[in-house]
Structure 1
Amino acid sequence: MLRILFLRTVNKYASKWLVLAIDLFLVCVSFFFAYAIRYNASFEFDLQHLLLQIPFVLVLACIAFALVGSYKGIVRHTGTKDAFNVFLGISIHTIFIGFALLVNGLLAIFPTFSIPISIIIIHFLLANFMMIISRFIFKAMFELVNTQVKTITNILIYGAGDSGMITYAAINRDRKNNYEIIGFLDDNPNKVNKKIDRIKIYNPDKIDAEFIEKHDIKEVIFSMPRLRSGRLLELTDKFLELNVKVKTVPTLTKWIEGDLQANQIKNVNIDDLLDRDQIEIVNPIVMSKVSGKVLLVTGAAGSIGSEIARQLTAYNPKKLILVDQSESALYDLQQEFVQLGLSNFVALVSDVRDLKRMERIFIKYQPEQVFHAAAYKHVPLMEKTPYEAIKINIMGTKHMADLSIQFGIERFVMVSTDKAVNPTNVMGATKRIAELYISCLSHAQSNTKFTITRFGNVLGSNGSVIPLFKKQIEKGGPLTVTHKEITRYFMTIPEACSLVLEAGTMGKGGEIYIFDMGKSVKIFDIAKRMIYLSGLKYPGDIDIKITGLRPGEKLYEELLADGENTTKTYHEKILIAKTNQIDFVVTKGKIEDILLELPSVNNKKLVSLMKEIVPEYISKNSEFEELDHEVSNELMN
């Protein structure tokens, strides 16, 4: 109880007047001991003379401390700067004493008043020592009581280099949390078993369950900016399975005014665990290409479209036209931009399937570049409704592309997907046909530059697996995965949208840009990591249920179709897919025919027509598999 009372008292910063009173008391004590030391502890000095000198010494001390402000520091946060202020205050105090005695000696104001120089020197040394050491004693007492009252969190810091030391210092400065740093971890064998500030450096591969239990380790903080993503993934999986929380230090650019604060150390996010390096695109050409231009973004309220719009605002466009059929989501984006103080945009509730409405928008706003992100993307839903998938993904794209040529748009960038590669479902097939239509238009003219960006799944996008897992965890599970071996390529939303903007400045038109996305990731592994990152255990707290592949769902996604290969660009992570040659006139005709027949034929006929346009479209786990069997039987006969 006394400890808690003390802690509550010192948590309210000690009054500066109390600190000044203690400092003056120590000045008196040091002055007395200066006399005692001078006279070899015999106390054979004039005590009455000493008592007359103390008020004189205290007045000069008050003046000196007031000039320096040494009593204004927060004692429980005492550091070298505070110690220097004390030293400076005592130094000025000593100079004042010497100057006063010199003036008194010359003018004989008080003939009998004098202090030996030896006393002044000893007093200077004692006062410095006592005042500085008292502050550090008070600080140590606070830390001791604080440690005993609060729950200690034992942690390890991964990285014994400069970043690790900065993290170590930031944690030591933090008084809101009670961390105890048990050790550093580092892969460098030359550092292992050495010590930093008496704290041992360990080999991370030697940390096991016994070590964690023995030292009661609760957290590991990763503080190594250049740590390979694969190594981060390996270690994170290891510590999560040991029931240890994993945190990470932000990059230098995100530090507050160049200084790392303890509250910036955050839990590792699932997008930190993609098993590949984050793709960074810094291209000043984007600024020159979009600054001062009128830009139109379709699907602007979606995950990708809204991030494209956000990134475009940073390039100072003349006008940003945001088009989406989702009223509520578009309103949210509009309010977000209003709160940011943006005024060079307009949000329009519109549908890309409505050709007349789109034409009026082009006439009124005269856009110069189009970023086409509007699409239906959910595989199971589109497998049940090919009519709607064709209408938005193919017809909507055709409307926007045709209008872009009609109105002389400089650049048209289409957002595609890896599901368009060797498609096994309706959604992927419609996106591939949309790609083909863009290729046909690009081949036929050169005024408008058409570009396609093709990438994998986006972490955190609407309807993606990450938000689904979060909801399932909140409800207590289980997490649902369609197949234990199913894998996907992943990227973050900012990465995906950076590619779209980059593509808007590259090439001559007609290219399909893809990412070198590294290795694909098992969805089952992501599910386990999300359970661990939530502070829970698998399967003890939350289980994972295998539900079976959904209609049209692939086990493995691809970024290139059969027969495609790639060429490099100036960015090592961005490649151009070299597609197979097609008959542009015939392909364009077939696409236009399917749109003409759209209102009058059933789903089976629509899918059959799509398979004619995209021969590599083979249905999987779908009612439309019978169409592939019919084709196979015809070939055999």
Structure 2
Amino acid sequence: MTLSSLFSWLGQLPRLPRWARLGIIASLHLGFFALAYLLAFLIRFDYAIPTPYQTAMWAGLLPLLATKAVVFGALRMFQGWWKYVSLYDVLALARALALASLAYLALNVMVLTPADFPRSIYLLDFALSLILLGGARGSLRLLREKLATWGDDRPAVPVLISGAGDTGETLVREISKNRQIVYQPVGFVDDDPYKHGLRIHGVPVLGPIDKLAQLVEKHGVEELIIAMPSASRDQIRRVVEQAQRAGVKTRIVPAFEAVVEGKVSVNALRDVAITDLLGRAPVELDTYAIGRSLEGKRVLVTGAGGSIGSEICRQVVRFNPERLILLDCAETPLFFIHRELSEQHDDKLFAAIGNVTDAERMRQVFEQHRPDVVLHAAAYKHVPLMEEHPALAVQNNIGGTEIVANLAAEYKVARFVLISTDKAVNPTSVMGATKRVAELLVRHLNHTCATTRFSVVRFGNVLGSNGSVIPIFRQQIARGGPVTVTHPEMTRYFMTIPEATQLVLQAATFKQGDLFILDMGEPVKIVDLARDMIRLSGFSEDEIPIDFCGVRPGEKLFEELTLDREEVDTTAHAKIFMGKEPADLLVEMEDAFDALMSAGRAGDDQSVRAGLEALIPTYRPSAPSSKVIRIESGRHKALSKV
């Protein structure tokens, strides 16, 4: 019988009837038990067993087999499958053999009481049984993994792995088992000098990352896999730059799978993305608290078709709500997120088309679904467009928030969360000013409404959201450039969409505070972001130039997350801070608020701008309405096509 046919036969065992499978596996174990027992006597007497001891040996064989069979059966040791053996299985095997040896010792001493039975046999039998069974199980697994790629004619891709830690070790193990992707690890690179010269599963640690170019040339490496899930953005950037200089393709182990789930899969490997260079560590969540706030609840998400709203829906549905109501006025993105989630959660979803500025429609939604939690993400967010349409920004960002928040109070919703932005801090744009007013409105309701907890979660830019800088840069690079950046010193805070939405859900569980500010890390220069994306796309700045097109109306060179008068305190989560303002500011400005809303409903853009300045003392518009540059004209033409 060839090895291939043997493994083909073994592979059929799980499909046999349960009694037949257990019978075969138990028989194999009994054979190893008998062999270990006989070898123990042979070793004890240097392969010349005296006659009296031979009698004791044969007399004790059947009781030994019966004892071990009972112990192994009680511990379900016949139900494991050898081709998936691990260290855990070896430890379980040792425990079962130890118990079986103790049971046989007790039986022999207290019941059978043989006259001539060496005490060393118990220890020898235990050790030999462990060696034989453990060796057999491990050998079958090793042979199976070796045969998995035997006969595959595809050439193996020589790869280096950056990071000789736990993730790198797991990756090498997975590569050896995965027959779908043919990689040949030729070595590790790691900056830890104590690891140099070591071997991990037979793969050597060849040296530091700085020697990457030499190692690539020496070993004919075609790809570099980054297996450093906790590395900073500077460390990742350094590895990527070294790989680009060496002329090899770079792939990465996603940090989420490696750190959060504790799993590493070759199939999950992907090209290095701009998010990897931003160095955002995976978010650690208090999933128990989030689960308590969402499980079995009716949750309404407004703006569910948008980048943030759709990801909120993806996160919420993980926590088993009774119903998730997805609300948006744009039917196409609403259709797509509903279809995506309905594949696994169709019985929990309801897609509601409606505009948050339509008070009658919103009342219908609240009356029909009676939500327990409202996550309000619907908003106009594009700064240049809102500079052209300030009245519409007021109607949607403030008026829509007012309608939904008042209905939340009226229908006694337990929790209402407004998604806000760093552009609301000392705003220079209409969009930022309207979000600041919306913040004041929601916090005002938290002071005046006893039945609903109202809160605001404020954060900066999210990577890859619709119409944001990254997809714009990506399309400009695909067209051959140039990449347009408004100003060399323009900086922004960034986080990933999943990180932002997870922290929103975490903040929604807090019982104290009504303004929460997410830790955005270090601000990033937009021009550095552009350069990184050009390099990741395999180009240089000579091939894809960067053009500086000037700051657009409403934009600031840098964003802020807190006002000067806001005190910031820590919360139970390291990445969420609580902002405090002296008092309910909106109660002192009701007349100014009413005037602003009247101007917005009347479509009076000039009065809206004046109203925003009266209501928000820190609002400093960057350009009067008469000087607003239309997005499709002149130097902004490149941005209008994406």
Same fold, TM-score > 0.5, yes or no: yes
Q: 1:362 aligns to what? A: 366
Which amino acid counterpart does residue 327 of structure 2 have in structure 1? Answer: V
* Within-5 A mapping of 1:181-580: 181-194=185-198, 197=202, 199-207=204-212, 209=213, 212-213=216-217, 216-240=220-244, 242-250=246-254, 260-508=264-512, 511-534=514-537, 536-580=538-582
**CA shift digits 1:88-116 (9 cap, x unpaired):** 9xx99xx9xxxxxxxxxxxxxxxxxxxxx
Identity %: 40
**CA shift digits 1:347-381 (9 cap, x unpaired):** 11111111122122222222222111110000110
Report how far residue 523 of structure 1 moved.
Answer: 2.0
C-alpha spacing 1:431/1:217, structure 2 compared with 1 (3 Å): same
Report the aligned-residue RMSD: 3.4
Q: Distance in 2 between matches of 1:520 and 1:446?
A: 38
Which deviates more, 558-567 or 163-172? 163-172
Report how far residue 474 of structure 1 moved.
Answer: 2.8
**CA shift digits 1:519-564 (9 cap, x unpaired):** 0122222222223333x21124433322222111111111112222
Q: 1:69 aligns to what? A: 6
Which amino acid counterpart does residue 201 of structure 1 have in structure 2? Answer: L
C-alpha spacing 1:438/1:492, structure 2 compared with 1 (3 Å): same
Aligned residue for 2:222, secondary structure, equals strand
Q: Distance in 2 between matches of 1:546 and 1:244?
A: 31
Q: Conserved in 2, the CA contact under 8 Å of 1:420 and 1:430?
A: yes
C-alpha spacing 1:360/1:198, structure 2 compared with 1 (3 Å): closer
How many residue pairs match? The answer is 499
Report how far residue 338 of structure 1 moved.
Answer: 2.7
TM-score (norm 2): 0.70
Q: 1:610 aligns to what? A: 612
Aligned residue for 1:69, secondary structure, equals helix
Which amino acid counterpart does residue 566 of structure 1 have in structure 2? Answer: V
Q: Conserved in 2, the CA contact under 8 Å of 1:280 and 1:495?
A: no
Aligned residue for 2:455, secondary structure, equals strand
Report how far residue 248 of structure 1 moved.
Answer: 1.8
C-alpha spacing 1:213/1:350, structure 2 compared with 1 (3 Å): same
Report how far residue 341 of structure 1 moved.
Answer: 4.2
C-alpha spacing 1:261/1:595, structure 2 compared with 1 (3 Å): closer
Which amino acid counterpart does residue 271 of structure 1 have in structure 2? Answer: T
Q: Distance in 2 between matches of 1:490 and 1:347?
A: 30
Which amino acid counterpart does residue 278 of structure 1 have in structure 2? Answer: P
* Within-5 A mapping of 1:18-97: 20=1, 69=6
Q: Distance in 1 between matches of 2:550 and 2:214?
A: 38
Structure 1 gaps, min length 5: 1-19, 24-64, 75-87, 96-131, 627-637
Structure 2 gaps, min length 5: 12-27, 36-138, 629-642
Report how far residue 580 of structure 1 moved.
Answer: 4.8
C-alpha spacing 1:623/1:305, structure 2 compared with 1 (3 Å): same
Which amino acid counterpart does residue 169 of structure 1 have in structure 2? Answer: R
C-alpha spacing 1:522/1:214, structure 2 compared with 1 (3 Å): farther
TM-score (norm 1): 0.71
Q: Distance in 2 between matches of 1:458 and 1:386?
A: 23
Report how far residue 413 of structure 1 moved.
Answer: 0.5
C-alpha spacing 1:604/1:210, structure 2 compared with 1 (3 Å): farther
Q: Conserved in 1, the CA contact under 8 Å of 2:464 and 2:471?
A: yes
Which amino acid counterpart does residue 163 of structure 2 have in structure 1? Answer: G
Q: Distance in 2 between matches of 1:340 and 1:486?
A: 42
Which amino acid counterpart does residue 318 of structure 2 have in structure 1? Answer: A
Aligned residue for 2:313, secondary structure, equals helix
1:162 aligns with 2:99: no
Larger Rg: 1
Which amino acid counterpart does residue 604 of structure 1 have in structure 2? Answer: Q
Which amino acid counterpart does residue 556 of structure 1 have in structure 2? Answer: F
Q: Conserved in 1, the CA contact under 8 Å of 2:571 and 2:578?
A: yes
Q: Conserved in 1, the CA contact under 8 Å of 2:164 and 2:189?
A: yes
Q: Conserved in 1, the CA contact under 8 Å of 2:490 and 2:526?
A: yes
Q: Conserved in 2, the CA contact under 8 Å of 1:243 and 1:532?
A: no
Which amino acid counterpart does residue 523 of structure 2 have in structure 1? Answer: S
Q: Conserved in 1, the CA contact under 8 Å of 2:422 and 2:459?
A: yes
Q: Distance in 2 between matches of 1:144 and 1:288?
A: 52
Q: Distance in 1 between matches of 2:262 and 2:323?
A: 34
* Within-5 A mapping of 1:592-631: 592-600=594-602, 602-620=604-622, 623=625
2:586 to 584, 605, 611: 584
Q: Distance in 2 between matches of 1:449 and 1:484?
A: 42
Aligned residue for 2:560, secondary structure, equals coil
Q: 2:61 aligns to what? A: none
Q: Conserved in 2, the CA contact under 8 Å of 1:275 and 1:521?
A: no
Aligned residue for 1:221, secondary structure, equals strand
C-alpha spacing 1:583/1:540, structure 2 compared with 1 (3 Å): closer
Which amino acid counterpart does residue 527 of structure 1 have in structure 2? Answer: A
Q: Conserved in 1, the CA contact under 8 Å of 2:294 and 2:319?
A: yes
Report how far residue 200 of structure 1 moved.
Answer: 4.3
Q: Conserved in 1, the CA contact under 8 Å of 2:487 and 2:549?
A: yes
Q: Conserved in 2, the CA contact under 8 Å of 1:158 and 1:223?
A: yes
Which amino acid counterpart does residue 541 of structure 2 have in structure 1? Answer: P
Report how far residue 498 of structure 1 moved.
Answer: 1.2
Q: Distance in 2 between matches of 1:252 and 1:562?
A: 35
Report how far residue 398 of structure 1 moved.
Answer: 0.8
Which amino acid counterpart does residue 446 of structure 1 have in structure 2? Answer: A
C-alpha spacing 1:238/1:577, structure 2 compared with 1 (3 Å): farther
Which deviates more, 277-286 or 348-357? 277-286
**CA shift digits 1:226-269 (9 cap, x unpaired):** 333442233334434554332222459579x9875433322222
Report how far residue 181 of structure 1 moved.
Answer: 3.6
Q: Conserved in 1, the CA contact under 8 Å of 2:330 and 2:353?
A: yes
Q: Conserved in 2, the CA contact under 8 Å of 1:549 and 1:621?
A: no
**CA shift digits 1:490-525 (9 cap, x unpaired):** 11111111122122211345x211112210122222
Which amino acid counterpart does residue 273 of structure 1 have in structure 2? Answer: L
**CA shift digits 1:38-78 (9 cap, x unpaired):** xxxxxxxxxxxxxxxxxxxxxxxxxxx99x9378699xxxx
C-alpha spacing 1:548/1:622, structure 2 compared with 1 (3 Å): farther
Q: Distance in 1 between matches of 2:601 and 2:173?
A: 68
Q: Conserved in 1, the CA contact under 8 Å of 2:230 and 2:255?
A: no
C-alpha spacing 1:73/1:404, structure 2 compared with 1 (3 Å): closer
Which amino acid counterpart does residue 447 of structure 1 have in structure 2? Answer: T
Q: Distance in 2 between matches of 1:146 and 1:609?
A: 73
Q: Distance in 1 between matches of 2:624 and 2:181?
A: 55
Aligned residue for 1:598, secondary structure, equals helix
Aligned residue for 1:376, secondary structure, equals coil
